[in-house]
Amino acid sequence: MADDSSYHRIMAIDYGKKRIGLALTDPLLTFAYPFKTLLNDKNFWQEITYIVEEQNISKIILGLPLKENGEEYELTATVFKFKAEIEKRLRIEVLVRDERYTSSIALEMINANVSKKSKRRDKSLIDQSAAAIILQDYLNEKK
């Protein structure tokens, strides 16, 4: 069996002005799981750089916020700038994916599977779960 350094993972990002949800694949690129939520603050780039290196990330899937009719929001332009900044700083491939409904789906899943009411209200759990949905959709398309 190969050592862990031969494996890589894909990361998904659910971008927000306050919080950024992260999800990862398993090393075999089979399934996605919620990983972490980072604050969108001055420490973000240091934290994301560490995670990308530590988890051996080979590609990032970035959620693209679109209106229900497919039109762009103001935030859509911000996400494209964020994509360019990731590519410049981390020198990694970044693909954008439609993220419509992922937060709603994540909230439904959390409400169905998390029994503790205080935990269900944790917005960071929604962010990372939305990222996991974006990533799982990407993996399912690649099968």
CA angle 24, 29, 33 (to 5 degrees): 30
Average of per-residue pLDDT across 80-106: 87
Q: What is the pLDDT of residues 90-102, one digit of tens each?
A: 999 999 998 766 6
Residue 73: HSE in the Cβ half-sphere, 13 Å Cα cutoff: 14
Number of domains in the chain: 1
Q: Give me the CATH number covering residue 133.
A: 3.30.420.140
Give the predicted TM-score (pTM) of the model: 0.85
CA distance 122 to 100: 20
Is the model more confident about 118 or about 60?
60
* pLDDT confidence tier of residue 116, bands split at 50, 70 and 90: low
Q: What is the pLDDT of residues 50-78, one digit of tens each?
A: 999 999 999 999 999 877 777 878 889 99
Residues of the domain holding 77: 4-142
